[in-house]
Structure 1
Amino acid sequence: MPHGLDHIVHAVRDLDAAAEFYRRAGFTVGARNRHAWGTHNRIVQLKYCYIEILKVAEPENIMPHGARSFSFGAYNRDFLARREGFSMLILNSSNAVDDARSFESTGIGSSGVFNFARQGTKPDGTPVKLAFSLAFAHDPASPNVRFAVCQHHFPENFWDPAFQAHANGAKAVSGAVMIAENPTDHHIFLKAFTGVNDLHSSSIGVKVRTENGDIEIMEPVSFRDQFGVSPAVEGEGMTLNALRFEVADIAQAEALHRQSRIASQRHVGRLVIPPDVARGATLIFETANFG
């Protein structure tokens, strides 16, 4: 079954400082949440997709990887030992158990389903129950990014328009952008992971249009030409480098950035916050016509 974007993990070393950056960039940022396995997060929620700003806060509680289990905490700890940035791309799921079986049958996953629950809080302070099931996937050629799908068991308690109102005018995540020296080397993985068979290849790279945003794999030179940022290439395979946001008015977002002293820059009709400002990530603001 095809999947759309659900969330992106932005691994950082200072959670509150990263949250303050997102706030200055014009996003509404949620309160700190704690996980039993040693990570803390704060959420930036958009329509049907969110950014999970994540820190390893209690390393003594991190569990190691198992023979058939993926340790979310251990992976992000090891990622942060190298750098900050987008560490995981996670799509939505209506049945994580079925997806785990599908990933195993296509050779991109061998972990069991990971289930967890925590208490959330509505904008008015009302506590609500949240629960999730994740199935993990892995492209062996790409050690610097991991993948998963996430099933929300109480979506009505999680998604809330009050959390999706942002001063910069961001409405939705219109796409996630990965980089690889040879994008077509990863099209088989991308088809198996997304469940979408109709991939679009061009001189820029490979793109899959999901029900909830695009997933693109670009060559580094194409990324630079499109967004004005020269990405650092880490070894072989894919890395997750950028998020594209749909905004109603780029000038509004730019004015807010100037006021907040966020060093964004215009490039080919887009507004871009480069990775040296955005803690290893590239944030791209564009109007709907860039989809």
Structure 2
Amino acid sequence: MRGIDHLVLCGHDLGAMRDSYTALGFTLTPEARHPFGTGNSLIQLEGCFLELLSVIEPKKITQAGAGHFSFAAFNRDFLERGEGMSMLVLDSTDARADVAAFRAAGLQTYEPFDFQRQAKLPSGEEVTVGFSLAFATDPALPNIAFFTCQQHAPEHFWKPHYQRHANRALTILDVSLVAERPDAHAAFLSAFAGVPAEAVAGGITLRTARGNISCITPQAFARSFGRARDMGQGPHFGGFTVGVRRIARLEEAISAPAYQLRKDGAHRAVLSVDVNGSALAFFALNRQDDEDE
């Protein structure tokens, strides 16, 4: 069973995005460059991460071709419509097997995409990390994309230093895809995630090995996050939920007055404003760490 690997959060200014998430108490990896024109900075959690992404060198972007998906071109075009979550990524042990499985399920697939980039360790040492990606898209969801990610050097990628956050963030609990007719997307999402869709209030959810994929109506999203989404561009990722140790620790870690939390019961809080186009909620898992003693 696949689980959530990471979310691609796309914005115009990578430095500004880093500042925003730092103000929310997250630890970020140093900026890195892809060989195809984009750059990123990561928020590593427990087995998953948030990828803050911008176009850095547009001249290096290659266009998509027959049977070939262009990660950089897709995100460049996404930014022409606005900032936000552009892609949902699940983990993989074999990207090529994923392509075959997606194709057998009738999904629109592409050739696997392999690449490497440099990464900086907490010590300052530069190392090479490598990935193989298996993309799948749905004509009914033209403004967002999906892929699985197979890592080839996980020992260089995951570092405890980057996984410790002042806000005590732990994991991605849920991703909210907003659509007028959630049921219409159940077959694609189920084939991509490899799990069945379950009916929930206001839509459907898919319980992956790590985190849920929810597809909900605009009305259900507004009830959950406290604000409406513009549906003029069709279905899109509206927000996500991060599991934290405790809400009190989260409140202490937020350093920017612009970011206020709206409590929703004893264990959930929603950020008052979007962060680079995405609504953000937090849920307390009530786990302690040494600093909580």
Q: TM-score, normalised by structure 1?
A: 0.93
Instruction: Tell whether 2:249 aligns with 1:252.
Output: yes
Secondary structure in structure 1 of the residue aligned to 2:7: strand
Q: Residue in 2 aligned with 1:172?
A: 171
Q: Which residue of 2 aligns with 1:70?
A: 69
Q: Residues 264 and 270 of structure 2 are in contact (CA less than 8 Å); yes or no, is this contact kept in structure 1?
A: no
Question: What do residues 54-101 of structure 1 show as CA deviations (whole Å, max 9, x unaligned)?
Answer: 111111111011011011111101100110000000100110001011
Deviation, 1:233, is 1.4
Q: Secondary structure at the match of 1:142?
A: coil
1:230 to 221, 224, 228: 228
Query: Which is further off, 227-236 or 5-14?
Result: 227-236
Unmatched runs of 5 consecutive residues or more in structure 2: 287-293
For 1:264, which of 254, 260, 267 is the aligned residue?
260
- Aligned residue for 2:167, secondary structure, equals coil
Query: C-alpha distance in 2, partners of 1:256/1:218?
Result: 30
Any conservation in 2 of the 1:120–1:130 contact (CA below 8 Å)? yes
Please state whether the residue corresponding to 1:217 is helix, strand or coil.
strand
Residue number in structure 2 paired with 1:110? 109
Q: Does the residue aligned with 1:177 lie in a helix, a strand or coil?
A: strand
How high is the TM-score relative to the length of structure 2? 0.93
Q: Is the 8 A contact 1:254 1:271 kept in 2?
A: no
Of 277, 283, 286, the match for 1:286: 283
2:291 corresponding residue in structure 1: none
For the residues of structure 1 that align with 2:222 and 2:244, how far apart are their CA atoms?
22
Alpha-carbon shift at residue 203 of structure 1 (Å): 2.3
Alignment map for 1:39-58 (pairs within 5 Å): 39-58=38-57
SS at match of 1:266: strand
* Counterpart Cα distance in 2 of 1:23 and 1:112: 36
| Distance in 1, Cα, partners of 2:123 & 2:37 | 27
Measured after TM superposition, the shift of residue 277 of structure 1 is 4.0
Q: Secondary structure at the match of 2:108?
A: coil
Question: RMSD across aligned C-alpha pairs, in angstroms?
Answer: 1.4
Deviation sequence 1:182-232 (CA, Å, 0-9, x none): 1111110011100113x2102221111111111111111111111212122
User: Sequence identity, in percent?
Assistant: 39
Whole-Å Cα distance in 2 between the matches of residues 43 and 262 of structure 1?
22
Judge conservation of contact 2:35–2:117 (CA < 8 Å) in 1: no
Aligned to 2:37: 38
Equivalent-residue separation in structure 2 for 1:175 and 1:158 (angstroms): 23
Q: Which residue does the alignment assign to 2:11?
A: 12
C-alpha displacement at 1:263, in angstroms? Answer: 2.0
- In structure 2, how many angstroms separate the alpha carbons of the residues matched to 1:82 and 1:227? 22
How far did residue 43 of structure 1 move? 0.8
Query: Which aligned runs of 4 or more in structure 1 are off by greater than 3 angstroms?
Result: none
